[in-house]
């Protein structure tokens, strides 16, 4: 009889037994895969606003596991007329992208038996702010391009690590959204 201990199923901090069980469950009942994530945002003053994140819907019901909400302060640096109360919104997007590619990479490596030792990335976005400032219709409002550079080390040959990076990119939710775009509807109550 073989007893599988926790240390045997956990790789890169991911419980691969739970990961494979999750995949099987969603394969068997595709409706469990329907999620809705949410944020609320309250304006404080000037460029300072606060997003809060906690509840979401997934796996057939409202999540109740989170014991706290997260508060994310946003701002703008002085040169963009803010008081530097937090990262600016475009920087939050870069953080979202780096986080998603990293998590995808770590999960893919765990599933494929690759033990990682380091995953580090730098992300840069180039923006001509004449777009967002309303000074030019010839430049876009957002980043013209984004560059991500990863450093990845682990117990696999270089070719396998590159495969993991490529697969993570093909499966990252935020990479998909940032490269392909998402339909966004905006409604306002101005009572």
Residue 2 or 42 with smaller CB distance to a second copy? 42
Residue 4 or 107 with smaller CB distance to a second copy? 107
Residue 2 or 187 with smaller CB distance to a second copy? 187
Residue 63 and residue 53 in contact, taking contact as beta carbons nearer than 8 Å: no
Residue 86 and residue 75 in contact, taking contact as beta carbons nearer than 8 Å: yes
CB of 3 to a second copy, least distance (A): 22
CB of 6 to a second copy, least distance (A): 13
CB of 1 to a second copy, least distance (A): 27
Report residue 135 as tokens.
């000074």
Residue 5 or 137 with smaller CB distance to a second copy? 137
CB of 4 to a second copy, least distance (A): 17
Residue 2 or 181 with smaller CB distance to a second copy? 181
| Distance separating alpha carbons of residues 114 and 14, to the nearest angstrom | 12
| Distance separating alpha carbons of residues 114 and 156, to the nearest angstrom | 6
Residues 6+ apart with CB under 8 A from 175: 97, 100, 101, 104, 169
CB of 114 to a second copy, least distance (A): 11
The total number of residues written for the chain in this structure = 191
Query: DSSP class of residue 13?
Result: T
φ, ψ dihedrals at 92, nearest 5°: -60, -40
| Distance separating alpha carbons of residues 110 and 10, to the nearest angstrom | 8
């Amino acid at each position: 009889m073989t007893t599988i201990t926790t240390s045997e199923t956990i790789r890169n901090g991911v419980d691969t037994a739970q990961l494979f069980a999750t995949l099987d469950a969603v394969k068997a009942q595709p409706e469990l895969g329907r999620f809705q994530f949410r944020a609320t945002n309250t304006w404080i003053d000037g460029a300072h606003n606060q997003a809060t994140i906690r509840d979401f819907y997934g796996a057939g019901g409202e999540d109740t596991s989170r014991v706290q909400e997260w508060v994310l302060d946003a701002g703008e640096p002085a040169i963009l007329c803010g008081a530097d109360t937090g990262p600016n919104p475009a920087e939050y997007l870069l953080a979202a992208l780096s986080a998603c590619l990293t998590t995808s990479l770590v999960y893919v490596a765990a599933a494929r038996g690759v033990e990682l030792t380091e995953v580090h990335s730098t992300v840069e976005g180039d923006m001509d702010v004449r777009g967002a400032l309303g000074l030019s219709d010839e430049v876009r409002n957002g980043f013209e391009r984004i560059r991500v550079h990863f450093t990845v080390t682990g117990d696999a040959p270089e070719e396998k690590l590159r495969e993991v990076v490529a697969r993570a990119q093909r499966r990252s939710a935020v990479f998909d959204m940032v490269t392909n775009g998402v339909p966004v509807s905006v409604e306002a109550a101005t009572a």
